[in-house]
Structure 1
């Protein structure tokens, strides 16, 4: 549930959805039968992933990288120090990956070491973690924290950066001349694989939630309480935001392309933030079953659909966006994300 997914898989999802709604003779299937069928599909997926994922993971050896720089929590005065230290770490990680024979990771790390990049955190070990700033964070009056979904790593970081850069460009275009804005691309957790046992449970999100809360607390130490901060949470990232919501110091919590949050309603998130949700008509997540089942001593699925009336979020227009299209320049949904981040809530077009 990351920024991309193949069209073939989406077509299969749509076919499965039609099958789940109709019997062999085309007659409607009762809701309880559909739920049982989706549970069987989830079990089948988990069993397949339990075999496939360990084998695929074992095919790639661990990539060496330096330990993250030991830095104090950032302040407006120490941002440049953090940026410099993390660029140096990325450069060293690139050299180590190249010596290891992994040219793809070496190139990815090298791009992050560019003098134009600004990282509050960088860890090139394993799949990698990074927190990047786009814009003048110290003086920003409006900040969007972008939380990614599955299959986001240092190896695929380019597409995550592209999404964050698109949102920043839209914000700068719409912001009043005296307002400064920033986007923070927060890859602060180990995202699940799209085809894996972890992507159907809240496990990774539970691990990520305290990290996200802690990061936003540190962010407030840089920008101050008067800055408007929005968490923009895509796909599985919305599960992370859902688990972090209670105690997450943001003004707006925005769920896009969400499979669910693990909560039954926006009220159950126990957040003071305004809760928004959107899903484009071209997004395959619409065909994901919004159920929750206890299987193998864990909970599978994420419950109520965030764009449903029952959930109670402020649903806004995402037009025909596909799952990887929420940050497309010129799109309806990107314009609405910018309006929310800028606090222009009355200008947001509703679905």
Structure 2
């Protein structure tokens, strides 16, 4: 992925005398709005990661009863994953088949949900969900698919290892439960995919709370476009914290507008290119207020000097900060 956008907004004007009519002023206003929209598009779309995958054959996802135990889901989805790898191989999609085999390489892999069709969906559990009392749900951003899943999973593994070192009764859920937008697309500039994702994430969180020990803390950790998803997700009392990182904005003017009673945190790495995205919202394009701006009202967490893809790398300040949020030991949370 490229490291940054290509420009910043400067003064906008024309040579000669200033316009004096309402029509001319209105035209200049429209011009400014067009320019701002273009800036949002160029700043968000320029960093390229992975290309969208074409349709891939796979069996339909397994349908479960609402009260199906986690171990039942794990076993059925492992079988579905193996079937999807075999079908991809038979269809000549050797690259996808290899990606799926990497996902099933660990014989103890635990998937609460799996769908190998198209760009794909997967919800994987790291740790013992049924005994954990500190659970983090990771929500990814654009261009996260089954073809790039290992990159997403690596962050989940790093977080789980960091949590386990301090609190053995912890678990991480890697939630690729929606069709993420492509980084090079118009969909990444609007909330449409986020609205669809939020309608899936909210009931999932309710079901997840029912699978965990009474009194467990659930934390939503939301990266990049995933922060737009989390900002639209209505959460119940089991969700105690929401952390937004690498966020382009949420579409809300302040943390108080989010449909949650959870504590809202925000952080940004010093080299994150997302800092160059204009925080505007025009005609449904862009996501408005910057979550790390104190005026937004989120609790700040230290994110260190890293870039857009570095928040969950082992040994980073950002990983340490996110772990303390999940564990309930973050500085502003110790007496909560």
Task: Let me know the Cα RMSD of the aligned residues.
Answer: 2.5
The residue correspondences of 1:110-149 to structure 2 (distance < 5 A) are: 110-114=101-105, 115-149=107-141
CA distance in 2, matches of 1:44, 1:226: 45
Is the 1:316–1:348 contact (alpha carbons within 8 Å) kept by the matching residues of 2?
Answer: no
2:83 is the counterpart of 1:92 = yes
Any conservation in 1 of the 2:138–2:222 contact (CA below 8 Å)?
Answer: yes
Contact 2:121 2:177 in 1 (8 A): yes
Counterparts of 1:340 and 1:74, CA distance in 2? 29
CA–CA distance in structure 2, aligned partners of residues 35 and 103 of structure 1: 46
Whether 1:109 and 2:105 are equivalent positions in the alignment is no
Shift of 1:79: 1.7
Query: Residue 57 of structure 2 aligns with which residue?
Result: 64
Q: Does the 8 Å CA contact 1:148/1:236 hold for their aligned counterparts?
A: yes
Q: Distance in 2 between matches of 1:35 and 1:331?
A: 39
Matched, 1:158 2:158: no
Contact 1:133 1:182 in 2 (8 A): yes
Query: Would the aligned equivalents of 1:74 and 1:82 in 2 still touch at CA under 8 Å?
Result: no
In structure 1, how many angstroms separate the alpha carbons of the residues matched to 2:265 and 2:102?
Answer: 34
Task: Quote the Cα distance in structure 1 between the aligned partners of 2:224 and 2:32.
Answer: 23
Q: If the length of structure 1 is used for normalisation, what is the TM-score?
A: 0.84
* Unaligned ranges ≥5, structure 2: 14-28
Q: CA deviation at 1:276?
A: 0.2
* Alignment counterpart, residue 323 of structure 1, candidates 297, 308, 311: 308
Secondary structure of 1:244's aligned partner: coil
Residue 332 (structure 1) aligns with = 317
Q: What is the rounded CA distance, in whole Å, between the counterparts of 1:107 and 1:340 in structure 2? A: 35
The answer as to 2:303 corresponding to 1:307 is no
Deviations 1:243-285 (A, max 9, x none): 1145584100110100011111000113110000000110000
Q: What secondary structure sits across from 1:303 in the alignment?
A: coil
Secondary structure of the 1:80 match is: helix
1:81-104 CA deviation, whole Å, 9 max, x = no partner? Answer: 211110100000000000110111
- Kindly indicate whether the alpha-carbon contact (under 8 Å) linking 1:90 and 1:113 is maintained by their aligned counterparts in 2: yes
Partner deviation per Cα, 1:298-338 (whole Å, 9 max, x = no partner): x0000100000111000111010100000111111100100
The 5 A counterparts of 1:1-351 are: 5-7=1-3, 10=4, 13=5, 15-17=6-8, 20-21=9-10, 37-42=35-40, 61-73=54-66, 78-114=69-105, 115-175=107-167, 179-245=168-234, 247=236, 249-294=238-283, 299-346=284-331
Q: Secondary structure at the match of 1:251?
A: strand
4+ residue stretches of structure 1 with deviation over 3 A? Answer: 21-24, 32-36, 40-46, 245-249
Is the 1:213–1:248 Cα contact (8 Å) retained in structure 2?
no
